Structure 1
Amino acid sequence: MSLPIAVLVSGSGSNLQSIIDRIEQGVLDAEIKLVISNKARAFGIERAKKHNIPYKVLLHTEFRSREDFDQAMVDAITEAGVGEDGLVVMAGFMRIVTPVFLSAFANRVINIHPALLPSFPGVDGQGDAADYGVKIAGCTVHFVEEKMDHGPVIIQAAVPCQAGEDGNELSPRILKMEHRIFPQAIQWYAEGRLKVNDRHVDLRVSGKRCAGQPKADLEPSTYALVWPPLEEGF
């Protein structure tokens, strides 16, 4: 049985597209029941339309409080069929959710962040990392807590950061890995293989073959380290 998921977006929805692609390829056992955007012109909505996925625009500016907005999202997601057996996926959703939302989907909300948490939380993780002059940047999939970019880590991918690069130059390299690790994390959840122990996320071993790491050469666009390892299809 496919995992019912709701996907929250605010922008282009490229991570949404990576999820859609893996579902259509038959390697991700999930069904997107609803896409929600807090911005009417988010291209993620166009992606949902193209693939005949139900969507809803909820403009946060039309609500009196964050809590009222979050309750509206909870109601929409529940009505779409994402119940206690489902997962909420924040794919470039640029809002901090409140306890109203997190209590409704306790331990069932995950997020993708373009930095190696706990370093460089916030809205411009890749830009902050580049400005700092790090040699290794990357991305993180984690469970969502009330504190921004703080929940238990599921999977991370590390990529090289070249001297003098800014966030715009670094971002495509990170995004390439986001599109791989995010669907993988969702699949692990769908298979019931993730267990959270305090801040540690344990991944139950399966018989699936690992896809292997990208070739360890000196070309930054092809090099990455992912842990836990990606499995075939991701």
Structure 2
Amino acid sequence: MKRLIVFASGSGTNFEALAAHFAHSQLAEIVAVVCDQPQAAVLARAARWQIPVIMAEYGHTSKAAVEQAVIAQLPPADLLVLAGYMRIIGKTLLAAFPNRIINLHPALLPSFPGRTGIEDAYAYGVRVTGVTVHYVDAGIDSGQIIAQEPVRIAPGEPLAQVETAIHEVEHRLLPQTIDTLIKEGAI
């Protein structure tokens, strides 16, 4: 069974989808959550699933020092999964987990990278946006694409409705992609 560590900064709905998916799986288990926000709702979700949390405390410390402190606390893991983690991963984590960090992005990369992918695609007026799962590299949402799924935007559709559609795809695509990576021997 593969061991996953989920990194999250906010509400944790993608973590919740992963936890529910892997609760009855023979392929993988979530062994820890890493969070950088002490008030994030994902912390309560992790507690409900009885999954340990590691806090990434940035404060006035360098990114390298924070990542080194996180690495020192991590249990053994096969894959790090960024699911709403709103920090750019640095050289320290990338070196410790080469080609073993994936990210979930709410747009069809390479278009609309960065933290406001949904809003950017909507403001640009695209009729098709979507969700991307990709490997993390030193750039911003620039790693090799693993999976994508489109989401259509109807003329005049409210942004909130687009966000809901994106999140529904995220909650399905991320666990499916991890299952595929495991079955194909990529992790």
Name the amino acid aligned to 1:48: A
Q: Return the offset for 1:93.
A: 0.2
Q: Return the offset for 1:25.
A: 3.6
In structure 2, the partner of 1:81 is 76
Query: RMSD over aligned Cα, in angstroms?
Result: 1.5
Pairing of 1:1-234 with structure 2 (within 5 A): 2-26=1-25, 29-61=27-59, 63-77=60-74, 80-82=75-77, 86-165=78-157, 167-194=159-186
Q: Return the offset for 1:155.
A: 0.6
Name the amino acid aligned to 1:12: S
CA deviation string 1:4-28 (max 9, x = no partner): 11110100111111111111243x6
Residues 128, 167 of structure 1: 8 Å contact kept: no
Q: Return the offset for 1:186.
A: 1.1
Q: Provide structure 2 residue ranges, at least 5 long, that are not aligned to the other structure.
A: none
Helix, strand or coil for the counterpart of 2:64? helix
**Larger of the two Rg values belongs to structure:** 1
In structure 2, the partner of 1:218 is none
Q: Provide structure 1 residue ranges, at least 5 long, that are not aligned to the other structure.
A: 196-234
Residues 131, 167 of structure 1: 8 Å contact kept: no
Rounded Cα–Cα distance in structure 1 between residues aligned with 2:81 and 2:56: 16
- Structure 1 residues 138, 71: CA separation in 2 closer, same or farther (over 3 Å shift)? same
Residues 133, 163 of structure 1: 8 Å contact kept: no
CA deviation string 1:12-67 (max 9, x = no partner): 111111111111243x6111111010001111111110011111222212x42111
Rounded Cα–Cα distance in structure 2 between residues aligned with 1:160 and 1:127: 14
How many residues are matched? 187
Rounded Cα–Cα distance in structure 1 between residues aligned with 2:109 and 2:56: 29
Rounded Cα–Cα distance in structure 1 between residues aligned with 2:168 and 2:91: 32
Rounded Cα–Cα distance in structure 2 between residues aligned with 1:64 and 1:55: 20
Rounded Cα–Cα distance in structure 1 between residues aligned with 2:56 and 2:126: 37
Q: What TM-score comes out, normalization by structure 1 length?
A: 0.76
Q: What TM-score comes out, normalization by structure 2 length?
A: 0.94
CA deviation string 1:122-171 (max 9, x = no partner): 11101000000001010100000010100011110101112234543311
Q: Return the offset for 1:73.
A: 1.8
Kindly indicate whether structure 1 or structure 2 has the higher relative contact order, using CA contacts under 8 Å at least 6 residues apart: 2
Name the amino acid aligned to 2:90: T
Helix, strand or coil for the counterpart of 2:181? helix
In structure 2, the partner of 1:225 is none
